[in-house]
Every structure is written in C-alpha cells, then in structure tokens.
Amino acid sequence: MKKIYITRKLPEEIIEPLRKKFDVQMWHSETIGMTNEEIITNAKDAYALWTMLSDNIDRTLIEGLPNLKVISNFAVGYNNIDIEAAKDRSIVVTNTPGVLTETTADLAFALLLATARRITEVEQEIRSGNWDSWSPMQYTGMDIFGATLGIVGMGRIGEAVARRAKGFDMNVLYHNRSRKLDAEETYGFTYAELDELLKQSDFVILLTPLTPETKGLIGERELNMMKETAAIINVARGGIVDEQALYEALASKKIWAAGLDVFEQEPVPVDHPLLTLPNVTVSPHIGSASIRTRQAMMQMNAKDIEAVLENREPQNRIL
C-alpha cells in the first residue's frame, strides 16, 4: 500500500475512506506542528504529503522524500511550498481553492467591522472594569456604510468581499494584476492603480497571494499615502506588509487602525510591538476557519491525493 503522510492530526472520519486503499499515517498532535526533520523522518517513504500552511516545505525537505508524487496543501495559499523544487521532481502540488472563498470573505468583513468600531478594544475596556459612564464621544469609530473600500488582489475572495461591501453601500476600488471587467460591469467596482487606491480608500483590504512580487508590497511609502483616518486589513499573508513600518504608522497615527489575521511570523509572538497598540485588532489566521469549510477543504485534499496516487488528474492542481 502506498503511504500518505499528514503533518497534523486530522479527524478520523475524513481519513477513513483513504485508509481502505492506502497506508495513512499522521502526526500525533492537532495543535503542535512538525519540524522539517520530523517530517523527513516520518514521511521518508511516503508517496503523498498532506501539508498545513504552517509547514515550510522547502527544497531540502522535498529532496529528502524520494518517493513523493503529490503534496496537497490544506490552504488556498501555497507560498509555504517551494514550487520550483516540486517542479524539478515532477511532484504534483494541489491546494483548496473555491470552498473557502465565502468563509474567508466573511472573516475579512468581520475584521473590517471590528476594526472600524473598535470591537476588541472596547470589549477589553468592559472586561477590565474601565467602562464607568456613557459618554458622547468615547469609543467612537469609523463608519463603514458609504466609505470607500480599496481591495488589493481581486481574486475570488476579493470579489466576495466586494459583493459584501456593496450591501453596506460602500464605494469599491480594486487593484489587481488584471482588470475584472465583468465584475466592474456587474457590481460597479472601479479599477485603480495601487497608489491611487491607497490615497482614496477609507479601508484597504489586502487579499493578494504572497509572491516575490508582493513581498513587502505595503511599506512606509505606501502607508504614508493612506488617509490619517484610514484602516488597513490583512487577511492574506503577513509578509505582504512591512510590520515595522506598519507599527510606526499606527503608533504615530499616520493611519488610524489595522485589522490583522496574518503575521510575518505565526503564531505572532506575544511581545510583538503591534500587539501593544490599542488600534490593532487581531485574529489568529482564521480566514477559512468555519467547521463546514475546514471539512470541505479536507475532503478536497483527500480526493486530490487519492486521484494522483491512482494516476488520475486531481481537481485542484497548482503544478
């Protein structure tokens, strides 16, 4: 039986159908990840490697698994996999697009609302016993309705966020490698160059994949272009933003607030400077984290692994 190795403990009911055909082995923990040395040791003779977005699937690891035919990533993003190294070995790489689009758009919008209305900050005020009177301008935030939303990266998730924004009467600008003429016509979204989008938006949502081109896309120069009353929301990948520049822009009130679901280092260290700021709302990389969506993503990975190991074409092939 061909071996499949899974780098995190997944629910048995998802794995069960694969067990009938393959030798399925997985890491013992749901919450603690594996080191690359542990992956190489445990998955040595594996034909399929089922990876998490927190795994760093680099060339050394890929070259350390001689039988490997497929890497299936439990995420739509795949910046954690050395695609060139996989290509050199003709290894198929799959991901989980589509099923997480609406769930991730929900989270983006939740973070947008929470940031605009300071939800986590004011909750902390109540829990700490600091809410001692109702006061006219205390705890005031920014309006979402009628505001301009700038979406950087207009893929499936970007479009789903933009549709939600229309329900809030927002004016939607977007920046993308290619124009989305159908969406522009159907929903009235407007294309803008990145600098123009940053200047005009009240809220900027980052939804672009992390690639060599987008690494550090938002730095000091870009943050300086934003309005002093604007907020930035990142639900894509931490590396798209220069976190030091973001900290300085927020601490010096060059921009008003940030909502962050992703960080350069995850889990974000508890003493990270960004976590000291009251105008930063955070969540722990939970874009796709609804029960139904996570289950659908796992089903997708399982089907694609099965397909490759049975010499069929997988549905979600990146490579």
What residues act catalytically? 237, 266, 285
Binding mask of the shown chain, residues 76 to 105, with x at each position contacting ligand DGY by CB under 6 A:
xx----------------------x---x-
Binding segment (CB under 6 A) for ligand DGY, from list 75-83, 132-140, 189-197, 306-314: 75-83
| Site membership for ligand DGY, residue 75 (CB under 6 A) | yes
**Residue 49 to residue 6: CA distance in whole angstroms:** 6
For the bound state, the minimum distance from the C-beta of residue 149 to ligand DGY, rounded and expressed in Å, comes to 20
For the bound state, the minimum distance from the C-beta of residue 265 to ligand DGY, rounded and expressed in Å, comes to 15
Of residues 161, 291, 150, the one with CA closest to residue 225: 150
77 versus 153: smaller Cβ distance to ligand DGY: 77
Non-local (6+) Cβ contacts of 305 within 8 A are: 4, 18, 48, 50, 70, 72, 94, 314
* Binding residues for ligand DGY restricted to 100-139, rule: CB under 6 A: 100, 104
* Binding residues for ligand DGY restricted to 248-307, rule: CB under 6 A: 285, 287-288
Non-local (6+) Cβ contacts of 43 within 8 A are: 3, 5, 7, 49, 65, 68
230 versus 302: smaller Cβ distance to ligand DGY: 302
Binding segment (CB under 6 A) for ligand DGY, from list 28-36, 69-77, 116-124, 198-206: 69-77
Q: Quick one: how far is CA 298 from the chain centroid?
A: 17
100 versus 204: smaller Cβ distance to ligand DGY: 100
Any bridge partners for residue 73, and if so which? 51
**Residue 231 to residue 95: CA distance in whole angstroms:** 30
For the bound state, the minimum distance from the C-beta of residue 212 to ligand DGY, rounded and expressed in Å, comes to 17
70 versus 226: smaller Cβ distance to ligand DGY: 70
Q: Are 26 and 48 in contact (CB under 8 A)?
A: no
Q: How many CA atoms lie within 13 A of 6 on its CB side?
A: 22
* Binding residues for ligand DGY restricted to 39-58, rule: CB under 6 A: 53
Burial class (CB in 10 A: 0-12, 13-18, 19+), 228: exposed
**Residue 316 to residue 4: CA distance in whole angstroms:** 18
95 versus 115: smaller Cβ distance to ligand DGY: 95
**Residue 260 to residue 240: CA distance in whole angstroms:** 12
For the bound state, the minimum distance from the C-beta of residue 297 to ligand DGY, rounded and expressed in Å, comes to 7
214 versus 288: smaller Cβ distance to ligand DGY: 288
140-144: Cβ within 8 A, 24+ apart: 141/116, 141/117, 142/116, 142/117, 142/202, 142/229, 142/231, 142/256, 142/257, 143/116, 144/112, 144/113, 144/116, 144/168, 144/170, 144/203
Binding segment (CB under 6 A) for ligand DGY, from list 5-13, 72-80, 134-142, 301-309: 72-80
For the bound state, the minimum distance from the C-beta of residue 78 to ligand DGY, rounded and expressed in Å, comes to 8
Using CB positions, name the residue nearest to ligand DGY: 287
Binding mask of the shown chain, residues 15 to 34, with x at each position contacting ligand DGY by CB under 6 A:
--------------------
Q: Are 155 and 174 in contact (CB under 8 A)?
A: no
For the bound state, the minimum distance from the C-beta of residue 208 to ligand DGY, rounded and expressed in Å, comes to 12
Residues near ligand DGY, by CB under 6 A: 53, 75-77, 100, 104, 285, 287-288
